[in-house]
Amino acid sequence: MKKVLTQFKKFQHFYPYTVNIIGAKSKNQINYMSCAWHTALSFDPPLFGVLVSKKRLTHKVISDSREFTVNFLKADRVKLSAQLGRTSGYDTDKLKQFQVQLAPSKIIKTPVLEEAYVCFECKVADIKAYGDHDLFVGEVLAIHEDENCFNQEGVLDAGKVNPLLYLGSDFYITINPDTKKHVVPD
Ligand SMILES: Cc1cc2nc3c(=O)[nH]c(=O)nc-3n(C[C@H](O)[C@H](O)[C@H](O)COP(=O)(O)O)c2cc1C
């Protein structure tokens, strides 16, 4: 028997999701925050969506600059996710405090995260409000990928990268590469 909830405070049963760090740089500000609510939206054109609460400094900076980077972390950088996801750029200069290493983007002004295994450069194509979060739809203009981490089809090499997965609250996990299967229909 399953328990049925019609009233609930926490709504996080859909995890695990991969964690990325969203970067945003405007004329006056640069900021990075952890993000688990994200999704690919289209192959052609390549569109990637991130959901950002209106409370975040990141929300303000992306709204100003109309661009952002999406940077996926390996599991061994779990501490950085906690640091960038539990402090706000409104209160502290996170780049300085947590010694975040940046690298230049190719097309946009917002830097990518040096230690991410894959990063997207995005130009804002659309913004839509959904309850307390806004969906920023980014057109992916460039992808920075660690060549050792993906095969020729662009599939993650699970033997080489343990992607960081978020379980909700302050819990994280990663994948077991031994469980990988290549399955095609009969
Ligand atoms: C693992 C993790 C994932 C998160 N995912 C999101 C998210 O998808 N959207 C969001 O608005 N906040 C998310 N947060 C919360 C923000 O990262 C957090 O509020 C951060 O302090 C905002 O920073 P800022 O004010 O500097 O932008 C997440 C936090 C953690 C730890």
Task: Give residue 143's pLDDT.
Answer: 98
State the pairing for strand pair 112-113/38-42: unpaired
Q: Are 10 and 168 in contact (CB under 8 A)?
A: yes
Task: Give residue 85's pLDDT.
Answer: 98
CA of residue 85 to ligand 1 center, whole Å: 5
CB atoms within 10 A of CB 169: 9
Split at pLDDT 50, 70, 90, the class of 177 is very high
**Domains of the chain: residue spans and CATH:** 17-175 (2.30.110.10)
Task: Give residue 68's pLDDT.
Answer: 98
Tens of pLDDT, residue by residue over 101-158, are 999 999 999 999 999 999 999 999 999 999 999 999 999 999 999 999 999 999 999 9
Split at pLDDT 50, 70, 90, the class of 34 is very high
Task: Give residue 149's pLDDT.
Answer: 95
Task: State what percent of residues in the chain have pLDDT above 70.
Answer: 100
Whether residue 89 has its Cβ less than 6 Å from ligand 1:
yes
Split at pLDDT 50, 70, 90, the class of 178 is very high
For the purposes of burial, counting CB atoms within 10 Å of the CB of 138, is it exposed (0-12), middle (13-18) or buried (19 or more)? Answer: buried
Which residue out of 20, 26, 33, 98 has the highest number of ligand 1 atoms within 8 Å of its CB and is therefore the one to mutate?
Answer: 33
Spatial distance between the Cα atoms of 111 and 144, rounded to a whole number of angstroms: 11
Task: Give residue 165's pLDDT.
Answer: 98
Q: SS3 for 111?
A: coil
Task: Give residue 72's pLDDT.
Answer: 98
pTM for the full predicted model: 0.97
